[in-house]
Amino acid sequence: MKAMQDLPVINRLLDLNNENIVSFHVPGHKNGRLYERFQYKNFIDVLHQLDTTEILGTDNLHHPEDVIKESQERASKVFGSEETFFLVNGSTSGIYSMIMAATSPGDKILIDRNCHQSVINAMILGDLVPIYIYPRIEEGQGISIGMPEEEIERQLIAHKEIKAVILTYPTYYGIAWDLKKIGEIVHKYDKILLIDEAHGAHFGLSVHLPPTALSCGADCVVQSTHKTLPSFTQSSMLHIQGNRVQREKLKSMLKIHQSSSPSYLLLSSLDFAVMLYKEQGEALMEELLRNIEGFKADIGTCSRIKVMGEEVVGENKAFALDPTRLWIAVEGVKGYDLDAILRKRFRIQMELSNEYGVLAVTTMGNNKADFDQLQRALQIISSEYMDRCIEEIDVQRYRAPKQVLTPRAAFYGKKKRILLKESIGEISGEYIIPYPPGIPLVIPGEEINEEVLNVLDQMIKGKKEILGLRDGAYQWIDVILR
């Protein structure tokens, strides 16, 4: 399609489309490829005509009685829930809804500190007091690999008034905890287990993937269908089982957090994703896992390229690893640089990077040619970019800041603006969120420490996008007035 005048967003998207970028990022349909492969292109061609609202013949997401009900019921069967709700405001809206359905203002809730920002936003909205568990960090990669189950139990004993536990499962990097065991602990203390399974909507498709959160006994689960399955960006699902979370309260929360004009285009894409999952999912997943095996075998011949694998699984480490997430490092090349080289020189877009490596989100939409291109590019990079030895990379350790105020108290507290470099020891009045992955480095109410500023400095130098800090030059920060 030709570029048109005065349409900045559309023209940029058309330009990107013409670049034929190889997608190792979300959304899971990979530039619409799965719609084309399964001949749903005719649906896409008339998308503009299908954009509608609640009229005679459609249905109402907030009170479904017809086609939405039918599609949600099919999803519930396919994903093994008791009831499933379609989300058109991202997993974010499902996370707000399930947390606020399971709690009341003033309640305490146990959270993994490497959660997505939406979990913390729910603390602000729902006036909740978070108690954090800190996953174990793999020093060599800078990512969380283990969830200390004994710590969960300790916190549940120490804070009897905790209402619910919310965990990220799997992490952005595909790390899974022993959720069955965690579920047993949480339920032993009669608490509610909520799971942010944003990155695990595909888990039911193969025995080679970690078990689904529902099969591990979670009470309520939110999945980003758009990330690893082929629905459109912003469309997700919330699944529920059992009666620990009140269904009526959950439905009220969904009405509050979702648009009164839900997009039928997003709903249609969820319908498609469920159908594909059911009809073709297992075969497509098998094909993907085969392609990944081939890619890893080819890469294995080059000692300078490392793909994270089973070495992170074991005692005091990860319980399981999602093989469709590829965390890749090239010796001698910083992750941030690797990310930029892949995109600028090889037209390959990865999901995210840090100082050490880059992350590929692979889905059923990726084909063998994608993996071949990635493999060739990595091999060229590993032989041409050897200017810095990995040992020389100045790795900054992150020490999670201490919580002094609740996120809500800090959010609404009186603030002053000071220079970021003079903020050590101050209580942050705002978020600092590297994006992606959207996991806050600093949460409002936390005390800023030196390690945080060092890591932030490294991210800014790596040209990583930082959300939260209102000042675009990253020089100033709002802290609590004391």
Ligand X SMILES: Cc1ncc(COP(=O)(O)O)c(C=O)c1O
Residues lying near ligand X in the complex (CB under 6 A) are found at: 90-92, 95, 116, 118, 168, 172, 196, 198-199, 224, 236, 437-438
Helix (H, G, I), strand (E, B) or coil at 477: strand
Quickly count: other Cβ atoms within 10 Å of residue 249's Cβ.
15
Burial 293-309 (b: 16+ CB within 10 A, else e): eebbebbeeeebbbbbe
CB nearer to ligand X: pick between 140 and 438: 438
Cα separation, 467 vs 474, whole angstroms:
10
| 434 upstream amide cis, omega within 30 of 0 | no
CB nearer to ligand X: pick between 90 and 413: 90
Cα separation, 349 vs 339, whole angstroms:
8
Chain center to CA of 250: 22
CB nearer to ligand X: pick between 143 and 378: 143
CB nearer to ligand X: pick between 227 and 408: 227
Chain center to CA of 86: 18
CB nearer to ligand X: pick between 120 and 453: 120
Closest residue to ligand X, judged by C-beta, is 90
CB nearer to ligand X: pick between 64 and 438: 438
CB nearer to ligand X: pick between 72 and 118: 118
Alpha helix stretches (DSSP H) within 25-178:
33-37, 41-45, 47-50, 67-79, 90-102, 117-126, 149-158
Strands 415-419 vs 476-480: parallel, antiparallel or unpaired: antiparallel
Amino acid at 196: D
Calculate the alpha carbon distances from 177 to 113, 146, 168, 171, 229 in Å: 14, 7, 9, 9, 22
CB nearer to ligand X: pick between 170 and 444: 170
Cα separation, 249 vs 317, whole angstroms:
37
What DSSP string describes 179-205?
A: HHHHHHHHHHTT-EEEEE-TT-TTGGG
Give 186's Cβ-side CA count (13 Å radius).
Answer: 26
CB nearer to ligand X: pick between 30 and 116: 116
Helix (H, G, I), strand (E, B) or coil at 284: helix
Helix (H, G, I), strand (E, B) or coil at 155: helix
Cα separation, 101 vs 394, whole angstroms:
44
Contact 197, 223 (CB under 8 A): yes
CB of 245 to ligand X, least distance (A): 18
CB of 59 to ligand X, least distance (A): 22
Give 266's Cβ-side CA count (13 Å radius).
Answer: 22
Structure tokens at 230: 């082929």
CB of 256 to ligand X, least distance (A): 16
CB nearer to ligand X: pick between 91 and 353: 91
CB of 196 to ligand X, least distance (A): 5
CB of 224 to ligand X, least distance (A): 4
Give 145's Cβ-side CA count (13 Å radius).
Answer: 21
CB nearer to ligand X: pick between 440 and 444: 440
Widest CA span of the chain, in angstroms?
Answer: 66
Cα separation, 397 vs 395, whole angstroms:
6
CB of 8 to ligand X, least distance (A): 23
CB nearer to ligand X: pick between 30 and 226: 226
Can you point out the beta strands (E) in 393-474?
A: 415-419, 433-435, 465-467
